[in-house]
Chain A
Amino acid sequence: MAFPLPRGIMPPEISFLAEMEMVTILPRQRLEGLELLGGPVEPLIPPRRASLPLWLALLLKRQRRANILPPSWLHPESLSFILDIETQYEEYKDTFSPPPPLPGQPLLHDRGEPAVATPRYTPDGERYYPAPPFLPQNVARDHVPPQELQTLPFHWLEVGNMLLDAASDDLVDPDQTRRLLKELREVRMAKIRSGVDALDAAAMGGGGVALTGVGAIELGEGRRFISGVVDGLRRIGASREQARREELAEEMANGGYDATQDDDDEMEF
């Protein structure tokens, strides 16, 4: 068989994706700029900060050729704040705290403003809208505007764990950070499990079920469970007659000959 894995990227593949996130480093040595298949990498000229993909930052960190400057969300203060949102606010009791906005998406406090998506254009003339892991959600910023809400980026768990593993000395209070990440993980996992109630009929009218704010690994792990629930809800939410019609249609799609065949088979034995 050419491909043994099930449908949908799995956690090791998701970690691989997360390693493409850009992070900020403080190089300890010079290195010329490189033209990688993943895109150009700027030259390293200490003490100037540089932006690199996480996999490369970790490679350099492991050889003690650079230090990593963590993103603002990976800090006990920010994580406590986010944990509060996840647990203390009625609005987010069953859903995830809001994710960082996409380019052109209004920040939470500007909710009245309209979203404006600005596409890039591919060499083949198609529209392309960057999204994680290709947004600067994990680079270090010197100044975070005070009214800006801290948010967990899509690859929060992978980035958090990888930096704790390889660069804990570059983090503020790594032990507390580790504890808070663990707590966030548990709180959010519980939301996915009990999320059945949150997957309500109102969403069925829209044709889908919202999981906004979910993390990449959380999605990868919960994929099969969530699909099953959504499928089940689809049947419950529909009218009895429509459900019956759907069932029949699926049996036919999955080899209706089998269904009718089984009936006929009973004649033989």
Chain B
Amino acid sequence: MDIDDILASVDRHDPTTPESTALDHQLLTRFWVAERGVSELLPWPGPLMDRMMDRVRRQIETIEDLAATSADPLPSTSTTTNLQTTTTNTNTTINLTLSILQTDLSRTQYTLRSLLRQRLSKLTKHSMHYLLRISPPTTQQTQSQSQTAEHDLRPEDSIPTVGQEAPHPPLSAPEVRFLVAHQHLLAKHYGDAFLGSFPPQLRRLDDNAGGTSMVQGPEVREVVFVRCLVEEVRVVVPPGDGVEEEVVGGTAMRMGDVWAVRWEGVRDAWRRGEVEVL
């Protein structure tokens, strides 16, 4: 069967079919490459990750079961060399199968691990930026008009409050928990180490006086490398830079073209699946 035929027969509603497995593997791989190639945190692909983690868990069980089978001792009553040979052959085949399953598993584990850690790294690099992005605007205002007595102000008080209701795109729920906890930990640390002894008006973590790392976002004008997957894609130039409104590029990318472009110029096309990040 041709790969194309396999993919064409994907049953959209059944994640357990082999065809579905192949497609998800491709989606995960492509998403991993994109997440590695762009500074911005890409939207958490929840359903895909759930399906992948499910399959990983089941595959680990399959491997453990198979390994237990091969570790079984030869039956002590076996007397014929034929049976021994067959058992040996079976064991060899089981070992080969195990080594293939194990290698395949480690490859997917690696991709998931790399993806999760790359995301965590992006989050902690621009913590306040993402916290502000996922917290409702009202809580941000409330903070600055806080009733807390001025001399009691702690650095933690300048951290935006994130609502309990999931989801908080582009972050996953565990990422939100990590980010909030990490920022509080950091704030407490700074507070204990030196900020606590500062004049109250200097204790905030979201002001420019704190330095560039406080509320800086990822660079969206950076150059990325993309391949055009559809008939035509035009690169956009968002407003700014002396440009009043969005401008669409003159020359278009054609199918199969590989270009070096600004991320913000192809971000929407990427979201629509029209380009892939290389």
Interfacial residues, chain A to chain B (CB-CB below 8 A): 1-3, 5, 7-9, 13, 16-17, 20, 22, 31-32, 34-42, 51, 55-56, 59, 63, 65, 99, 101-105, 114-117, 119-131, 134-136, 202-203, 205-214, 216, 219, 223, 226-227, 230-231, 241-242, 245-246, 249-250, 253-255, 257-258
B272 near A227 with CB under 8 A, answer: no
A8 near B37 with CB under 8 A, answer: yes
Interfacial residues, chain B to chain A (CB-CB below 8 A): 1-4, 6-8, 10, 12-13, 15, 18-27, 29, 33, 36-39, 45, 47-48, 51-52, 55-56, 59, 93, 96-97, 99-101, 103-105, 107-108, 110, 114, 117-118, 120-121, 124, 208-209, 211-212, 216, 219, 221-223, 225, 227, 229-231, 234-237, 240-242, 249-262, 265-266, 272-273, 276, 278
**Complex CA distance for A5 and B122, rounded to whole angstroms:** 12
**Complex CA distance for A152 and B89, rounded to whole angstroms:** 41
B260 near A227 with CB under 8 A, answer: yes
The interface residues of chain B lying within 8 Å CB-to-CB of A130 are 3-4, 7, 26
Minimum distance in angstroms from B234 CB to a CB of chain A:
8
Q: Which of B2, B18, B259 contacts A209 (CB 8 A)?
A: B259
B104 near A210 with CB under 8 A, answer: no
The interface residues of chain A lying within 8 Å CB-to-CB of B110 are 16
Given A32-B97, A245-B242, A37 and B225 contact (CB-CB distance below 8 Å): no
The interface residues of chain B lying within 8 Å CB-to-CB of A32 are 97
B37 near A7 with CB under 8 A, answer: yes
Minimum distance in angstroms from A205 CB to a CB of chain B:
4
A20 near B29 with CB under 8 A, answer: yes
Minimum distance in angstroms from A126 CB to a CB of chain B:
6
Nearest first, the 5 closest Cβ-Cβ pairs linking A and B are A255-B212, A206-B251, A39-B22, A207-B235, A208-B261
Minimum distance in angstroms from A157 CB to a CB of chain B:
14
B7 near A230 with CB under 8 A, answer: no
- Measured CB to CB, the nearest residue on chain B to A126 is B273
**Complex CA distance for A28 and B269, rounded to whole angstroms:** 46
A255 near B216 with CB under 8 A, answer: yes
B223 near A59 with CB under 8 A, answer: no
A223 near B225 with CB under 8 A, answer: yes
Q: Which of A38, A115, A246, A257 contacts B255 (CB 8 A)?
A: A115
A56 near B100 with CB under 8 A, answer: yes
A39 near B37 with CB under 8 A, answer: no
Given A22-B3, A103-B4, A127 and B265 contact (CB-CB distance below 8 Å): no
Q: Which of B223, B235, B242, B278 contacts A241 (CB 8 A)?
A: B242
A17 near B37 with CB under 8 A, answer: no
Minimum distance in angstroms from B233 CB to a CB of chain A:
10
Q: Which of A35, A99, A245 contacts B241 (CB 8 A)?
A: A245
**Complex CA distance for A250 and B219, rounded to whole angstroms:** 10
The interface residues of chain A lying within 8 Å CB-to-CB of B48 are 122-124
A219 near B223 with CB under 8 A, answer: no
A205 near B10 with CB under 8 A, answer: no
The interface residues of chain A lying within 8 Å CB-to-CB of B21 are 35-40
7 contacts between A and B (CB under 8 A): A38-B108, A99-B256, A114-B231, A207-B234, A227-B223, A258-B211, A258-B212
Q: Which of B36, B52, B223, B260 contacts A13 (CB 8 A)?
A: B36
A206 near B231 with CB under 8 A, answer: no
The interface residues of chain A lying within 8 Å CB-to-CB of B227 are 131
Q: Which of A31, A208, A216, A223 contacts B253 (CB 8 A)?
A: A208
